[in-house]
Amino acid sequence: QKEVEQDPGPLSVPEGAIVSLNCTYSNSAFQYFMWYRQYSRKGPELLMYTYSSGNKEDGRFTAQVDKSSKYISLFIRDSQPSDSATYLCAMRGIYNQGGKLIFGQGTELSVKP
Amino acid sequence: EAGVVQSPRYKIIEKKQPVAFWCNPISGHNTLYWYRQNLGQGPELLIRYENEEAVDDSQLPKDRFSAERLKGVDSTLKIQPAELGDSAVYLCASSFRARTDTQYFGPGTRLTVL
């Protein structure tokens, strides 16, 4: 079993839809949770960064962390065709392994105009 | 501010040939990472450098992979000899510090081994 599980999709939604992306994890030592966006033929770029449990909002994007359930989510409101990309969740502990990031396999999102 | 620079962007080689990838991290970033991303998967760490010291190379296949970071700035990742299963995107990332700081990724080198 992988430490981080993510539904690979692909996920196709119409423009303006609310998108929900999710990851589950098994390592209770994870404290930092991230969402990266990766456009085709590009490197991942950091989208959201959350420490421990709770919600964080940035424009149309909201990240949620539920450590009791070992479950994280990314919500995209009013989705746009420019949001079409692969979304990777990533997480790491505080002290173990020097901050090594563990990634999910990514969810491919397509927003249709 | 310039981001992480990688070259080449694409490389096609025959199996058993050697190949090398180069990375220039963001200026001032002490920590440098090499990741491998297989098709349809997330990146997996190969090696992490703190300045010029390799502090985590547990996932690096040492029989054929090697890496160096001279003077604590640029880094080179080498594969010799390449195998078909090495076809992947090799990503370089950097951060100011390892434990808490954001990792910034380069565009990657897409390797195809025929």
Task: Give per-residue pLDDT as tens, A85-101.
Answer: 999 999 987 765 566 88
The verdict on a CB contact (< 8 Å) between B42 and A41 is: no
In the stretch 31-50 of chain B, residues with CB closer than 8 A to chain A read 40-45, 48, 50
Chain B nearest-CA distance from A106, in A, is: 6
Interchain CB contact of B96 with A (< 8 Å): no
Tokens of A11: 């996920």
What single-letter DSSP state applies at residue B80? S
| pLDDT on residue B4 | 96
Sheet arrangement for strand A19-25 = A4-6, A19-25, A71-76, A61-66, A54-58
Tokens of B56: 């985590």
Q: Which residues of B touch A91 (CB under 8 A)?
A: none
Which residue, among A35, A100, A108, would best test binding to B if mutated, counting the most B CBs under 10 Å from its CB? A100
Using an 8 Å Cβ cutoff, are A91 and A4 in contact?
A: yes
Q: Which of B40, B41, B98 sits opposite A99 (nearest CB)?
A: B98
Nearest CA in chain B to A103: B42
User: What does the pLDDT look like over B19-57, one tens digit per residue?
Assistant: 999 999 999 999 999 999 999 999 999 999 999 999 888
| pLDDT on residue B56 | 86
Residues 6+ apart with CB under 8 A from B17: B81, B82
User: What is the maximal distance between C-alpha atoms in chain B?
Assistant: 40
Q: B111 or A98: which carries more pLDDT confidence? A: B111
| pLDDT on residue B1 | 64
The verdict on a CB contact (< 8 Å) between B45 and A100 is: yes
Give yes or no for residue A22 having a pLDDT over 70. yes
Shortest CA distance to A90 belongs to which of B30, B43, B34? B43
Q: What is the mean pLDDT of residues A53-68?
A: 94
3-state secondary structure of A83: helix
